[in-house]
């Protein structure tokens, strides 16, 4: 097979060519030591781990556990998944048995600006089309489970408003007295559909439902996705599903999915989704795909189940956190590690010259628009100013007790002086550094990065959570803003302040972890503040309770739980070869 050149071929063309020499999935499963009842094949190249069977094994941590995060990204992304895959391949080149755990691509980005989350160049998860277009059905199952709860809720409101108590009783229902003005749940769809953020339902007659405002969020922002990401097994998932608050009664009591008696049916949709999908890199190493992206509006982590299973099967498990260290790694550190009981041995911070220049004052990077020439020419002054953002993320990781490895995701336009500037800044801040061109050369290009990661895994760590869960919610939110984001403090709307007061008075919610929702494009709440802004205050406009997932979600700034689709969306380039049935144009 001829050498694949990322400079000449598009990502989907590389994936298509690489798929011609994929290893059968039973070969991957065999090398992991999986017994016949511990996995199931989905065709020739996909598999599902059987979580229940595997959890019966004696469980112990064996692998070096590595998290991949990043600096504050541009709208084009900085290549965390590409780096995750490249690192797995680089470790393989060093003779290590390595595997990765990544998040399943959402249809929102796949058909919008960023494209699929399969990696890129010679560092990809394959096969590309199944990964990008539904995979083994996990996100569809989450969508259906979420929307089944909405069906149960809206039907109950209609019946309670149309029937008297005697007629309700004949239907085997007891009046809950749901307040239509205090609905907590929304419909889910795995596309970026801004037109559905706010809708009116029940338009028509009394048989068409109760008329009231409603709306959609993207599926990966659903509490059901957070539950899948955080659950340790099916029993834990079932318990969490039952705790989802869908609404409040007119007297102020929470109404859960268990109250609607829909929690069991929701779990029925998820019995296969609880099992991670087994895939492979272009170079044939195993990859686990589970849970979803969007750490700005969700937890944004590969699942606890995938990580807990993965660390028992290899020498090094490389897992992925969404967006930058201020939100993705912070949630890995203070939420996911609490659920999993795992502590990282090393953390990789992905950076690019392009993003560092944007933080140093270069013209903003805009999706689907040509880059300013400054991004392709040497400019050490702008680059060095932009490194302030990198230093902030190094400090975030070090605050957790881990020594980070900075990975410069190499571009062909990077100059030697630019690379050495970033190396000097990273090392002066106490981080290891590697320039990696895994996108261009695959595992061979990631060997320096793999060596630095192996070194870091041998360091003595002092991993500690940022805050004690017994501290007040306002104190813990302030810790995130001041000690992680670098802000001056927090301001609350009247709505947010009232909700926090209510949550703090309830012993069941007062000590839940914090899952912040804020922009990914700045350490602050304002995407127009690049670099390392100081002196700003985080405005929290609302506070959501995800009781089933066990999270308190402060919503900062203008962040939306349903993103929008851009004018030059990726779906314009995607098509099918009708002679072969192969999908083309994914990136």
Helix residue ranges, H only, 315-379 = 330-331, 337-340, 353-359
Q: Which helix (H) or strand (E) holds 70?
A: strand 64-70
Residue 439 designated active-site: yes
Of the candidates 242, 295, 429, 456, the residue annotated as catalytic is: 295
Residue 498 designated active-site: no
Tokens coding 548: 């089933």
Of the candidates 45, 323, 433, 536, the residue annotated as catalytic is: 323
Evaluate whether 85 touches 320 at the Cβ level (below 8 Å): no
Of the candidates 187, 294, 439, 587, the residue annotated as catalytic is: 439
DSSP 444: G
Distance separating alpha carbons of residues 587 and 15, to the nearest angstrom: 10
Helix residue ranges, H only, 39-121 = 51-54, 80-93, 107-110
**In 3-state terms, what secondary structure has residue 120?**
strand
Of the candidates 48, 96, 103, 336, the residue annotated as catalytic is: 103
Of the candidates 411, 461, 560, 584, the residue annotated as catalytic is: 411
DSSP 514: B
Distance separating alpha carbons of residues 152 and 501, to the nearest angstrom: 30
DSSP 2: P
Distance separating alpha carbons of residues 263 and 218, to the nearest angstrom: 21
Bridge partners of 49, per DSSP, are 39
Distance separating alpha carbons of residues 463 and 519, to the nearest angstrom: 26
Of the candidates 48, 96, 114, 240, the residue annotated as catalytic is: 114
Strand arrangement of the beta sheet that strand 489-492 belongs to: 489-492, 537-546, 551-556
Residue 295 designated active-site: yes
Tokens coding 436: 């990696």
Of the candidates 70, 72, 80, 587, the residue annotated as catalytic is: 80
Helix residue ranges, H only, 293-379 = 304-310, 330-331, 337-340, 353-359
Cis-peptide, bond into residue 156, ω within 30° of zero: no
Tokens coding 587: 């990136």
Evaluate whether 549 touches 240 at the Cβ level (below 8 Å): yes
Question: How many residues are recorded in the chain?
Answer: 587
Distance separating alpha carbons of residues 362 and 384, to the nearest angstrom: 12
Residue 411 designated active-site: yes
Residue 82 designated active-site: yes
DSSP assignment string, 162-202: HS-HHHHHHTT-----EEEEEE---EEESS--GGGSSEEE-
CA end-to-end distance (rounded Å), the chain = 22
Distance separating alpha carbons of residues 538 and 484, to the nearest angstrom: 12
DSSP 204: S
Of the candidates 72, 74, 81, 82, the residue annotated as catalytic is: 82
Vertex 487 angle, CA 484 and 493, to 5°? 110
Residue 518 designated active-site: no
Distance separating alpha carbons of residues 321 and 332, to the nearest angstrom: 7
- Residue numbers annotated as active site: 80, 82, 103, 114, 295, 323, 411, 439
């Amino acid at each position: 097979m001829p050498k694949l050149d990322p400079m000449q071929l598009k990502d989907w063309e590389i994936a298509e060519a690489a798929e011609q020499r994929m290893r059968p999935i039973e070969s991957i499963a065999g090398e992991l030591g999986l017994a016949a009842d511990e996995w199931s094949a989905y065709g020739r190249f996909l598999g599902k781990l059987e979580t229940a069977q595997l959890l019966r094994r004696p469980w112990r941590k064996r692998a070096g556990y590595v998290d991949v995060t990043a600096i504050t990204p541009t709208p084009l992304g900085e290549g965390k998944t590409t780096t995750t895959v490249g690192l797995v391949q680089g470790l393989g080149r060093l003779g290590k048995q390595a595997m990765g755990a990544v998040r399943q691509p959402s249809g929102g980005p796949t058909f919008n600006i960023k494209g699929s989350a399969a990696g890129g160049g010679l560092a990809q998860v394959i096969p590309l089309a199944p990964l990008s277009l539904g995979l083994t059905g996990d996100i569809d199952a989450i969508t259906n489970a979420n929307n089944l709860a909405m069906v149960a809720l809206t039907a109950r409101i209609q019946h309670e408003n149309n029937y008297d108590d005697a007629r309700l009783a004949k239907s085997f229902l007891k009046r809950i007295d749901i307040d239509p003005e205090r609905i907590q749940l929304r419909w889910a769809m795995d596309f970026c559909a801004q037109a559905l953020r706010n809708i009116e339902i029940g338009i028509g007659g009394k048989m068409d439902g109760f008329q009231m405002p409603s709306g959609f969020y993207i599926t990966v922002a659903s509490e059901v996705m957070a539950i899948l990401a955080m659950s340790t097994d099916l029993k834990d998932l079932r318990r969490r599903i039952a705790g989802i608050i869908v609404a409040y009664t007119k007297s102020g009591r929470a109404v859960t999915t268990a109250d609607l008696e829909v929690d069991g049916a929701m779990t029925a949709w998820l019995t296969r989704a609880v099992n991670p999908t087994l895939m492979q890199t272009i170079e044939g190493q195993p990859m686990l795909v589970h849970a979803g992206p969007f750490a700005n509006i969700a937890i944004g982590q590969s699942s606890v189940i995938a990580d807990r299973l993965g660390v028992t099967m290899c020498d090094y498990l490389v897992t992925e956190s969404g967006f930058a260290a201020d939100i993705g790694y912070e949630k890995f550190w203070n939420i996911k590690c609490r659920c999993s009981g795992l502590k990282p041995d090393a953390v990789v911070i992905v950076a690019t010259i392009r993003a560092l220049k944007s933080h140093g004052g270069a013209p903003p990077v805009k999706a689907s628009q040509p880059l300013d020439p400054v991004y392709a020419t040497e400019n050490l002054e702008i680059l060095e100013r932009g490194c302030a953002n990198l230093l902030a993320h190094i400090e975030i990781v070090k605050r957790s007790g881990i020594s980070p490895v900075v990975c410069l995701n190499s571009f062909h336009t990077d100059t030697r002086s630019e690379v050495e500037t970033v190396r000097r800044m990273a090392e002066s801040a106490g981080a290891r550094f590697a320039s990696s061109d895994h996108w261009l050369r695959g595992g061979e290009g990631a060997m320096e990065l793999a060596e630095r990661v192996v070194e870091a895994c041998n360091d003595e760590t002092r991993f500690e959570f940022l805050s004690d869960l017994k501290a007040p919610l306002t104190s813990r939110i302030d810790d995130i803003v001041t000690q992680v984001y670098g802000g001056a403090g927090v301001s609350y709307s009247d709505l947010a302040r009232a909700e926090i007061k209510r949550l703090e008075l309830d012993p069941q919610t007062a000590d839940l972890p914090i899952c912040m929702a804020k922009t990914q494009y700045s350490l602050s709440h304002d995407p127009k503040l690049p670099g390392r802004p100081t002196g700003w205050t985080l405005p929290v406009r609302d506070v959501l309770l995800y009781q089933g997932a066990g999270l308190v979600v402060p919503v900062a700034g203008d962040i939306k739980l349903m993103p929008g689709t851009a004018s030059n969306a990726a779906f314009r380039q995607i098509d099918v070869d009708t002679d072969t049935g192969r999908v083309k144009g994914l990136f």
